[in-house]
């Protein structure tokens, strides 16, 4: 593995945001692209951290430090991910992590990659209650509502938001896409979402499919 990618991995594990930022910049200067950095250094390292956290080998403060370091890399990659050569915007996406859930790394990646693929993305942040999704739908009239949840205790919130959208008579106005660790295609079908993406690349695929346009910048 390339030295810079290894340093990004080590920096995330050690929670060393400075090392991660510098190594990400070096990797880009060496011609390693953002896609490669995400696939080989960022995602697998967070998975490793998740396993160590589950096993009780590391604790929440360690995970927070790693998350901060991971965001240092995303910050460097952001301009590249959202850079798009398309003059015509593909559509509007509202994205947010559902109520009770504070995980935002994956949601932020999905947000950036969709921007890079030509969507206007409005990010509502984390811990977003159903009422805020409704207000945002009324205000921005999005083509897609994308929701993220990482906890088995919060994925049920997707259902609550969908019910609130139905109650407001807005269900046929917006396509709903869900994703996050414990979410599956079966679950998405069960709750009546229009789509599911297992990772950021599938997020683009499903958005393009739902809007009938497959000509993305990342062309997945």
Among 32, 112, 136, 150, binds ligand B12 (CB under 6 A): 150
Phi, psi of 15 (to 5 degrees): 70, 30
- Of 6, 15, 149, 4, residue with least CA distance to 70: 15
Instruction: Figure out which of the listed residues 9, 23, 40, 67 binds ligand B12, where binding follows CB under 6 A.
Output: 67
Q: CA-CA distance, 189 to 176, in Å (whole number)?
A: 11
Q: How far is the CB of 184 from ligand B12 (least distance, A)?
A: 11
Nearest approach, Cβ of 88 to ligand B12 (angstroms)? Answer: 23
Q: Is residue 115 a contact residue for ligand B12 (CB under 6 A)? A: no
Output phi, psi for 32, to 5 deg: -80, 130
Q: Does 15 bind ligand B12 (CB under 6 A)?
A: no
Continuous H helices in 126-215: 130-140, 156-167, 185-190, 200-210
Answer for which of 28, 46, 122, 164 binds ligand B12 (CB under 6 A) is 46
Tokens 């789509």 belong to: 195
* Residue 110 within binding range of ligand B12, rule CB under 6 A: yes
Q: Cα 13 vs. chain centroid, distance in angstroms?
A: 20
Which of residues 8 and 177 has its CB atom nearest to ligand B12 in the complex?
A: 177
Q: Which two tokens stand for residue 87?
A: 């003059």
Q: In the complex, which residue's CB is closest to ligand B12?
A: 106
Write the DSSP symbol of residue 152. Answer: T
Number of residues that bind ligand B12 (CB under 6 A): 38
> What is the contact surface with ligand B12 in residues (CB under 6 A)?
43, 46-47, 49-50, 53-54, 60, 63-64, 67, 100-107, 109-110, 146-148, 150-153, 177-182, 197, 199-200, 203
């Amino acid at each position: 593995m390339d030295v810079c990618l290894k340093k990004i991995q080590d920096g995330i594990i050690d929670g060393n945001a400075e090392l991660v930022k510098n190594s990400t910049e070096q990797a880009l200067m060496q011609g390693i692209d953002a896609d490669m950095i995400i696939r080989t250094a960022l995602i697998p390292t967070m998975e490793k951290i998740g396993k160590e956290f589950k096993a009780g080998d590391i604790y929440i403060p360690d995970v927070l430090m790693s998350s901060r370091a991971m965001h240092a890399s995303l910050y460097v990659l952001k301009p590249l991910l959202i850079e798009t050569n398309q003059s015509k915007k593909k559509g509007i996406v509202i994205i947010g992590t559902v109520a009770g859930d504070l995980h935002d790394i994956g949601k932020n990646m999905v947000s950036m990659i969709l921007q890079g693929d030509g969507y206007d993305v409005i990010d509502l942040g984390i811990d977003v209650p159903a009422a805020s999704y409704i207000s945002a739908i009324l205000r921005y009239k999005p083509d897609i509502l994308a929701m993220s949840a990482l906890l088995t205790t919060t994925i049920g919130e997707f259902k609550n938001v969908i019910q609130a959208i139905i109650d407001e008579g807005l269900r046929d106005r917006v396509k709903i896409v869900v994703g996050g660790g414990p979410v599956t295609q079966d679950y998405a079908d069960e709750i009546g979402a229009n789509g599911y993406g297992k990772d950021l690349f599938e997020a683009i695929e499903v958005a393009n499919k739902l809007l009938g346009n497959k000509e993305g910048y990342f062309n997945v």
